[in-house]
Amino acid sequence: MMPKTDPRGAIAQAIAQATGRPFRPSGEAAAGGGCINDARVLHGRDGSRYFLKLNAAPRRAMFEAEAAGLAEILATGTLGAPRPVCWGEADGRAWLVLEHLELGGRGSAAALARGLAAMHRVSRPQFGWRIDNTIGATPQPNAPDADWVAFWRARRLGHQLELARRRGAGRRLIERGARLLEVLPAFFSDYRPVPSLLHGDLWGGNYGYAGGEPVVFDPAVYYGDREADLAMTELFGGFPAEFYAAYREAWPLDPGYGVRRGLYNLYHVLNHYHLFGGGYAAQAEAMMGRLLAEAGA
């Protein structure tokens, strides 16, 4: 049954206003949209389709930031992504309407890598972004900073360690985290990253192929070290081997990437601890131990 308060009427009106043509819904179907949002495919009587995400009203800012991130990626012309159509809040629900992309079939992992490398060459004077957003459902602060180490310490690892403390993480995790923040410059003694446009949450579930062309979605956009995007592609099983070969051919990686990969993925493991608890605390502790050993601490 439909809830007593339902924003579908407001959504249909917003789609019509955004596209310049009437949208008369003919039905909808559930869609895979992760564990955060209620995802739907909206069908129009004219054969049009849109991808809809629904959440509680306070999540409107999350949707606004996602739309801005997708627009930032699309503006580069380097990778495909669903075009944001409209977003808003009505009847106690926040919503985001995106272009519906027919995902499926095979595509070139090398093309995805070349597009990603080209996107990473899009730069800005500072690390961070003009607005805060979320990584999953977790707030992700993006206040700009010209110093990458300072940005990563305060806006990424330090932020997640504070969330872990509030969640009740054990003393060893907090102590190792504090020590890691102290020795962070050791990982960048002879490496100076430039602010690259990052997807920010680039695992295997956030890319696909539409008409054979690579597309990305569900971003957590900011400008940072490109290695952070590459590191996450390896966190949950990795991408195809041809992806990494093509990326390195387009833009070779620094020799220290193999160590910093763990530093960057620690952010996501801590975020998973914040969101899901469980064994992620032990995984984070082990990662910190290896990183501290690498830093001679």
Residue ranges of the chain with per-residue pLDDT less than 50: 1-4
Q: State residue 33's pLDDT score.
A: 60
Question: Is 201 labeled as catalytic in the residue annotation?
Answer: yes
Catalytic residue among 201, 218, 225, 229: 201
Range of the domain at 267: 109-294
Q: How many CB atoms lie within 10 A of CB 189?
A: 8
Q: State residue 8's pLDDT score.
A: 83
Structural domain total, the chain: 2
Q: State residue 5's pLDDT score.
A: 56
Choosing from 80, 99, 118, the residue where a domain stops is: 99
CATH number at residue 234: 3.90.1200.10
Instruction: For 45-104, write each residue's pLDDT tens digit.
Output: 999 999 999 999 999 999 999 999 999 999 999 999 999 999 999 888 999 999 999 998
Residues 26 and 84 occupy one common structural domain = yes
* DSSP code per residue over 274-286: HHH-TTHHHHHHH
Residues 118 and 189 occupy one common structural domain = yes
Q: Where are the beta strands (DSSP E) in the chain?
A: 25-30, 38-44, 49-56, 84-90, 93-99, 133-135, 138-140, 196-198, 207-210, 213-216, 222-224
Residues 144 and 242 occupy one common structural domain = yes
Q: State residue 237's pLDDT score.
A: 86
**What is the pTM assigned to this prediction?**
0.95
Question: Mean pLDDT, the chain, as a whole number?
Answer: 94
Q: What does DSSP say about strands 196-198 and 138-140: parallel, antiparallel, or unpaired? A: unpaired
